[in-house]
Amino acid sequence: MPRECIQTYFPWRKCFVFDRPSSRANLQKLEMLEECELEPDFVNQAKAFCDHILGASMPKTLKGGIGVTGFLLAKLAVTYVDAIRCGKIPCLENAVHALAEIENSSAVQMAFQHYKEEINKKADLPTEDQKEMSDLHSQCEKEALHIFMSRSFKDDDQKFQAVLAERIKKEYEDICQKNAEQSKNFCVALLLQMGEDLEYSLENNYYLKPGGYEDFQQDLGNTISQYNEATRKGIKAKETLSDYLKEKDTRGSMILAADKAMTENEKQQKEEQAKVELAKWEAATLDAKLKDTEMQLEDQRSSYNLHIQQLQDKMESDRRKAVQEHERLLNKKLQEQKAMLEQGFKERADQLEAEIRQLRSQGTGRGPCGSFLGNVVRSIGRVFGF
């Protein structure tokens, strides 16, 4: 029975035999001994063991070929031992499931924190346009998703990936809103600064005189030119200017009506010109809004495609690892069966034959079925409204 247990739980094994490290009197203070005080045979055996562990041993894996780091192994051991201490029946599968919940939650937090820190650090608000923000979002999201995929495991229903997608989406919406607000505030302040002389003249009724409308139009044009020459105004540049011109159009109509130097026909022509100019800016503002909205929708489509592609890549990588693990286990069973037959243990060899047939029938090399992928796509799609 002990032999079978060892063979079952340690299918790949290499045995080492160690002599007593030192004299009986020194065993109680073994950790304090210098290497020269140890038996030479033990030192050589220990060196051979360490060389094997560091150079020849395979990385530890869970079922399915999932790699286990030292950190994960420590947590797995604690979870398993705690179950024993609580009087429960220890189950490796349950321990792995509990560990996956903890690690996947941690993977979500680590990936999201990376995204949040990077996009807030690299975003020079207000950005010149929405594309600048979109490109930065795409880069940071890709890095965050890579962090999540490299650390998460057994997220079979993509629950944790969906949580990450939702948090990144919300953070991106928040920073886009912040970007718009900063752009708006900057543009308003810029127009106040560059239109300071114009405002002074309006407050002091400078334009309420013959020929005042022409002076008003000239000063307004200078303000607009200076505003357009300024850089880094952001995505609200056209909208803010359009709002500014609407307000000045009302003042301009009053000045035009009071201008005694113009005939009624000239006033009508000037009024029509002002309306055409204002309509042009309103159309430009609407066009900019539509482009920004389309860019944000494209961001969602790109994020959705990125999540699906990264998930498919991870699933394919996990499948290859599972195939390799399956092949190693099958080869080991075949070697054990051969050894049992050579040693005359026919009953055990027959048991191994049944295990071998079961392994061969499992079809580990097949990829995930269409219905599973469909459920995954729908789970991620719900986050982005698809």
DSSP string spanning 363-382? -TT----HHHHHHHHHHHHH
Task: Give the residue-averaged pLDDT of 25-52.
Answer: 88
DSSP string over 126-140: SPSSHHHHHHHHHHH
Query: What whole-number percentage of the chain has pLDDT above 70?
Result: 89
Q: Other CB atoms closer than 10 Å to residue 68's CB: what's the count?
A: 17
User: What mean pLDDT value characterizes the chain?
Assistant: 83
Is the pLDDT at 68 greater than 80? The verdict is: no
Q: Is the pLDDT of residue 49 over 70?
A: yes
Whether residue 14 is predicted with pLDDT greater than 80 in this model: the reply is: no
292-303 burial by CB neighbour count: b if 16+ within 10 A, else e? beebbeebeebb
Q: Is the pLDDT of residue 366 over 60?
A: no
Cβ atoms of 138 and 115 closer than 8 Å: no
Supply the pTM of this predicted model: 0.68
Distances, alpha carbon 24 to alpha carbons 19, 32, 179, 190, in Å: 12, 14, 74, 87
Distance CA 171, CA 108 (A): 14
Sorted by where each begins, the domain ranges of the chain are 17-57, 187-293, 331-361
- Over residues 240-253, mean pLDDT: 90
Residue in this structure with the two tokens 């890579």, named with its chain if needed: 146
- pLDDT above 70 (res 385): no
Average pLDDT of the segment spanning 2-31 = 75
Q: Contact at 8 Å (CB) between 154 and 98?
A: no
pLDDT tens figures, 70-111: 777 787 788 778 878 887 776 777 777 878 888 899 999 999
- Rounded to whole angstroms, how far apart are CA atoms 11 and 355? 13
**Res 262 pLDDT > 80:** no
Distances in Å between the Cα of 183 and the Cα atoms of 176, 189, 297 are: 10, 10, 20
Q: Average pLDDT, stretch 159-174?
A: 93
Structure confidence at residue 300 (pLDDT): 81
User: Helix (H, G, I), strand (E, B), or coil: what is residue 88?
Assistant: coil
Rounded to an integer, what distance in angstroms lies between the CA atom of residue 382 and that of residue 161? 12
Q: Which two tokens stand for residue 231?
A: 């850089």
Q: Write down the pLDDT at residue 3.
A: 61
**pLDDT tens digits, residue range 322-352?**
788 788 888 888 888 888 888 888 888 888 8
| pLDDT value for 256 | 86
| Res 11 pLDDT > 70 | no
Q: What does the pLDDT read at residue 179?
A: 95
CB-CB contact of 212 with 206 (8 Å): yes
Q: Is the pLDDT of residue 10 over 90?
A: no
Q: What is the pLDDT of residue 1?
A: 53
Residue 370 pLDDT > 60, yes or no? no
- Provide the pLDDT for residue 79: 78
Q: Which residues lie across from 61 on neighbouring strands?
A: 67
